[in-house]
Amino acid sequence: MNQRDSAGFEMTGTTAESLVHFEIATHQLRCYIGDPVASVDAALSSAPQMVMAHVLKAYLHLLGTESLALPVARGCLAAAADLPATDRERGHVEAVRLLSEGRWRAAGRVLEDVSIAYPCDALALQVGHQIDFFRGDSRMLRDRIARALPAWSHSIPGYHALLGMHAFGLEETGDYAQAEMQGRKAVELQRQDTWAWHAVAHVYEMRNQPREGLAWMNHDTDAWAEDSFFAVHNWWHQAVFHLELGENDDALRLFDGPVFGARSSVVLELVDASSLLWRLMLRGVNVGSRFEVVADNWEPIAAAGNYAFNDAHAMMAFVGAGRAKEQQAVLDAQRAVLDGDLIVAADNLEFTREVGHPATLAIQAFGQGRYADCVELLRPIRHAAHRFGGSHAQRDLFDQTLIEASHRAGLDALTTALVRERVALRPRTPLAALMEKGARQLAKAA
């Protein structure tokens, strides 16, 4: 007889022992803690025909945008495809198939339908939420979760995660007050909900409240940093708060410590490392040989052509390290995507064409001192940059690059306009005051 999970869903091919391991794995994924892969492997060891365990293992290897993890995910798909399954489970299997083909939009739509039919399916909501993030779909980040929330209550395991995801969606759509409230409530319910910690950090970033952001992250650091595979990104947020305050040495210290001290080769952590170094470089900080180390870790994976957002960040590392060959390899992979030569391209073709390729070219142009070219490449895409994923906070790097490129190109009127635009949104930090002073000097000189 099939078991039922804690939300009451039938779980095909499950034993009592495998269900325990599976629910540990889903809890770990909801909080971004521990080792959910090991937990789901334990579930499969107990019940090799457990459909949702194969599905969960596939998701864990697909949501990191790691090209080298694709074979594992496809193996999970092959194992699950012919097993008996409920309608809900078949929806998940189809989503895995689409994701393994790089069809992010279609997978998100399948999981949307699963969530409409089964609003208490926490895994469908969480994976759908991550797909919305990778697609830069702010509205669905909010609405996918908002639709399901009325069906939930404190009695359903994982309720905190719904609040944390809703908080992030609210933040990305500009409802900062409600986002902070939901995120804080999630953390009160589950201290280790690192996504909720992260959602509130984004609120402070978007409100231009770096001191408050640092206070939020510092009042219980162990909750989001200990045993968390999302800790690097939350440390990155701390570093960004320091940068906004002009505390460059503190940001560099965090880079050398929790952001990249372990010299990770995880793609999402390489994105954070590249982004932080690029921000420091834009502020005139001498980062020494740090770009070289990050570039070393990007080099084996940077030409995968499976996600344009990653391409742009790999280019930052290669530009910072002065590696022309690797820069060309990234551009060649993007051109293969645009020509339809890569199997994994799918939706990434649009991500690359609409934003990723010009953004990557712009980063290279900046590194080559072609600042006017960088400006011309970034200006048409800056208001559409969400189309290749990431958050508002992450994509702000391209606005910062545009301002610095405009300044170095001697485009004084444009630089003044861009700085005034930024200061209007971020008036409360030392960096804003410094930029405003520079803008006044440029305007006076003109």
Structure confidence by residue, pLDDT tens digits, 207-252: 999 999 999 999 999 999 999 999 999 999 999 999 999 999 999 9
Q: What is the CATH number of the domain that holds 91?
A: 1.25.40
Q: Is residue 77 part of a domain?
A: yes
| pLDDT at residue 345 tops 70 | no
| pLDDT at residue 364 tops 80 | yes
- pLDDT bracket for residue 435 (50, 70, 90): low
At 327-339, the pLDDT tens digits run 999 999 999 999 9
pLDDT of residue 160: 98
Q: Is residue 114 part of a domain?
A: yes
Q: Is residue 90 part of a domain?
A: yes
Q: Is residue 91 part of a domain?
A: yes
Show Cβ contacts of residue 304 under 8 Å, excluding neighbours closer than 6 positions: 67, 310, 333, 344
Q: With beta carbons less than 8 A apart as the criterion, state whether 136 and 167 touch.
A: no
Other CB atoms within 10 A of residue 173 CB = 17
Give, for 111, the enclosing helix (H) or strand (E). helix 104-117
Q: Is residue 165 part of a domain?
A: no
Backbone φ and ψ of 342, nearest 5°: -110, 130
pLDDT of residue 438: 66
Q: With beta carbons less than 8 A apart as the criterion, state whether 348 and 306 touch.
A: yes
The total number of structural domains that make up the chain: 1
Q: Is residue 119 part of a domain?
A: yes
pLDDT of residue 220: 97
End-to-end, the C-alpha distance of the chain in Å comes to 79
Q: Is residue 56 part of a domain?
A: yes
Closest CA to 116 of 75, 71, 148: 148
pLDDT of residue 446: 59
Range of lowest pLDDT (169-178, 272-281, 313-322, 412-421): 412-421
What is the span of the domain harbouring residue 36? 1-132
Mean per-residue pLDDT for 260-282?
Answer: 97
| pLDDT at residue 40 tops 90 | yes
CA distance 153 to 157: 9
Give, for 36, the enclosing helix (H) or strand (E). helix 36-46
Q: Which amino acid is at 301?
A: I
Structure tokens belonging to residue 271: 């994105």
Q: Is residue 95 part of a domain?
A: yes
